[in-house]
Amino acid sequence: MKPQELSNSLWGWSKLGWLFDEQLQSAAAAAIAETAAAMNAQEVSNTIYACSVSGWKLGKAARTALRDALLKHLQATLEHFQQMPAGQHATTGQQLAAAMEPQHVANSLWGWARLGQQLDGDLAAVADAALLRMLPSMNGMDITQIQQEYNTEGWQLSPVAATALQEAAQRVKLTPPAAA
């Protein structure tokens, strides 16, 4: 199965609320483990999101493959944004393939948290840096998802990123201004 076919199928099944029996979960996990490295940013995001909202259990190979794919795309996103002015994001098809859009980042991190996975080591550092660059482009829903992940999963943001997240939430009027 091609990465897009797998990602679209999992996403569609999750939207329909279909539950997977053990055999189907095992087959999906094996397909994820085989194809995650070839997934583009949206496919990684959709796959993580689908697995998380459906409560599917992933084996170690599938989790590792998705983590590696997520890290790869967050790194590509960070590299892409480091070459662009602050607040600007991908505009061409080639740029979009290389970088995750704000919604992809929010959905991926939210889904990663819902899967009960930790944000640690190199993944934490890259997610923190990418988040800093993407916050100005995120909408209220994206910011809410990010806040939820960090508030409920015990993930740690750097002090700079935590402040930026709070300011972004205020920008879209999600939280009251901090007392001076």
pLDDT at residue 50, rounded to an integer: 92
- Are the C-beta atoms of residues 53 and 83 closer than 8 Å to each other? no
Q: Encoding tokens for residue 100?
A: 């995750």
Tens of pLDDT, residue by residue over 5-48, are 999 999 998 889 888 788 888 999 999 999 999 999 999 999 99
Is residue 147 in some structural domain?
A: yes
Is residue 178 in some structural domain?
A: no
Tens of pLDDT, residue by residue over 123-143, are 889 988 888 888 888 899 999
Is residue 180 in some structural domain?
A: no
Range of the domain at 87: 3-171
* Alpha-helical runs (H) found in 40-120: 41-54, 60-82, 93-98, 102-114
Number of domains observed in the structure of the chain: 1
